[in-house]
Amino acid sequence: MHDDTERCVRAVQSKDARFDGWFFTAVLTTGIYCRPSCPVVPPKIENMRFYPSAAAAQQAGFRACKRCRPDASPGSPEWNQRADVVARAMRMIADGVVDRDGVPGLAARLGYSIRQVERQLVAELGAGPLALARAQRAQTARLLIETSTLPMGDVAFAAGFSSIRTFNDTVREVFALTPTRLRERRRPATIPGLLSLRLPFRAPLCPGNLFGHLAATAVPGVEEWRDGSYRRTLRLPHGHGIVALRPLADHVGCRLALTDLRDLTTAISRCRRLLDLDADPVAVDELLRADPVLAPLVDKDPGRRVPRTVDAHEFAVRAVLGQQVSTAAARTHAARLVTARGEPITDPAGGLTHLFPAPADLTSMDLALPQARRTTLTTLVAALAAGEIDLSVGGDWNRARAQLSALPGLGPWTVETIAMRALGDPDAFVPTDLGVRLAARQVGLPVTPAALIGRAAAWQPWRAYAVQYLWATGDHPINRLPA
């Protein structure tokens, strides 16, 4: 979008927050870059320059605006609605792959050479993987500086910097303030070890289906709804964490407790992905509203998101456990796995007890399930533990579908459910789902899978969101916040 100067200028002059994260506006006369909705008086058109990423603006010599904090804007919805190499790379960078494994690790996971990956990222985003990861490290450093009392040396290494000198230079360059001055501007968190963050999103957001779904399907010991917040445990690269997410008017409140602060960037990325916070609800709803059957559903509660997951392997296991059983039965089966094989953790608040077991922890377990489903689950778990199926954030959606479909007992419903909520494909569709079929009958849509797929062609590429609106026609706990 940054190449469409006229459209970008209109967005800046109207302070349209919907475009925050789509592009960044740099101002030649001040040397700063902003989000489109920056509250200051818009600069003259001839002094504006537009960049596709914060990293590109930083590489061009601009520093972040202290008023609108462009580094904290929602991410571009492009990376979660596309399956090409650039989008997959951006999802991996957000998950901390470059910080952990470097650019060679990123390229290896994508199946391309380092040179090819760098060339494609620079062509589309104006910056290579190292610059993009550096911009993300700067954002993580700012969060730790402002929300913790950690010594600056600990902040530097927790944010992923290789040295304190690089940390100091980057913070000064990006924010035009020293780390000490940044900390003086904000009051750190008052609860030791707990980070309090704001997760921004593009309005509107309908919290009912999003948090209602997570709460209604919560696995005891791993997830819970408490005091107006969805809480769960997180398995992270360097340790584990506990997060509490609370829906508020203009952001989602996030309280994180981590055993290793190096996991902060990854934890934030996974929470945003869980809640689908980088979506563009206006674009989604505009297309779905064009269907006269869906229009009343969209108008009633616009801004529905697709509830996703923080752990694709966990969700794949839970999807198989949920085959042909009720929500309550699926929770019961999952809770048994957690009690038997989950890793115990300590929750100061007392409600959470375990991490969901990794596939390797389930390979030798004798599961109390019908024989056919037991075979399906053990085959899936073995394939995941061996790395034969790639469900990672940067994985190829179509290849993952093919790998899942090749396993015994994984039919279209299970595969598309995993594609929707674990892989994050916004066009995943489940025409055989009971809730979808009941909704189709109620609103006058075709009920046979083939006919419904044909009708749903007009909803592409947002069929996963159409499913959320169809599910909303039923009286089920997934559609509302718990009391």
Are 63 and 84 in the same domain?
no
- Do 62 and 107 fall within a single domain? no
With a pLDDT cut of 70, the percent of the chain lying above it is: 98
Asked whether residue 55 is assigned to any structural domain, the reply reads yes
Domain limits for position 159? 80-147+150-185
Average pLDDT over residues 265-288: 95
Contact 197, 69 (CB under 8 A): no
- Say which amino acid occupies 113: S
Quick check: is 56 in a domain? yes
pLDDT in tens, 412-444: 999 999 999 999 999 999 999 999 999 999 999
Q: How far does Cα 83 stand from its chain's mean position?
A: 15
111 domain-assigned: yes
Chain segment 12-25, per-residue pLDDT in tens: 999 988 889 999 99
Strand order in the sheet with 229-236: 194-200, 251-258, 239-247, 229-236, 223-226
Closest alpha carbon to 216 in 228, 230, 206, 204 = 230
Task: For residues 30 and 105, state if they share a domain.
Answer: no
Mind giving me the DSSP string for 345-364? ---TTSS--EEPPPGGGTTT
* Position 16 in a domain: yes
Average pLDDT over residues 324-341: 91
| Contact of 47 with 29, CB cutoff 8 Å | yes
Whether residues 44 and 94 fall in one domain: no
Helix H or strand E encompassing 34:
strand 32-34
Query: Which is nearest to 160 in space by CA: 136, 187, 143?
Result: 136
**Are residues 212 and 480 in contact, defined by beta-carbon separation less than 8 angstroms?**
yes
The residue type of 273 is R
Tell me what percent of the residues of the chain surpass a pLDDT of 90: 80
Quote the CA–CA distance of 200 and 277 in Å, as a whole number.
7
Give the count of beta carbons closer than 10 Å to the beta carbon of residue 186.
11
- End-to-end Cα separation, the chain, in angstroms: 42
CATH at residue 108: 1.10.10.60
144 pLDDT band, cuts 50/70/90, is confident
Residues 67, 84, single domain; the answer is: no
Same domain, 50 and 10: yes
Q: Is the pTM of this model over 0.85?
A: yes
Question: Which 3 state secondary structure label does DSSP give 242?
Answer: strand
CB atoms under 10 Å from CB of 387, counted, come to: 8
Q: How many domains is the chain partitioned into structurally?
A: 3
Residue 364 pLDDT? 81
Catalytic member of 8, 20, 34, 280? 34
Residue 155 lies in a domain: yes
Identify whether 433 is a catalytic site residue.
Answer: yes
Backbone φ and ψ of 224, nearest 5°: -165, 160
Cis peptide before 204 (omega within 30 of 0): yes
Cα separation of 88 and 67, whole Å? Answer: 31
100 and 169 inside one domain: yes
Contacts of 177 (CB under 8 A, 6+ apart): 66, 171, 185
Q: Outline where DSSP puts E strands in 212-327.
A: 223-226, 229-236, 239-247, 251-258
Domain final residue, candidates 127, 160, 185: 185
Same domain, 321 and 350: yes
CA count, 13 A, side-chain hemisphere, 209: 25
Instruction: Look up residue 28 and give its two tokens.
Output: 């030649």
Give yes or no: 65 in active site.
no
When pLDDT is cut at 50, 70 and 90, the band that residue 321 belongs to is very high
Catalytic residue from among 311, 396, 425, 433: 433
**Extended beta strands in 169-289, E state:** 194-200, 223-226, 229-236, 239-247, 251-258
Over 60: is that where the pLDDT of 190 sits? no
Q: Residue 255 in contact with residue 194, Cβ under 8 Å?
A: yes
Nearest to 62 by CA among 27, 87, 114: 27
Domain annotation covers residue 425: no
Answer yes or no: do 108 and 158 share one domain: yes
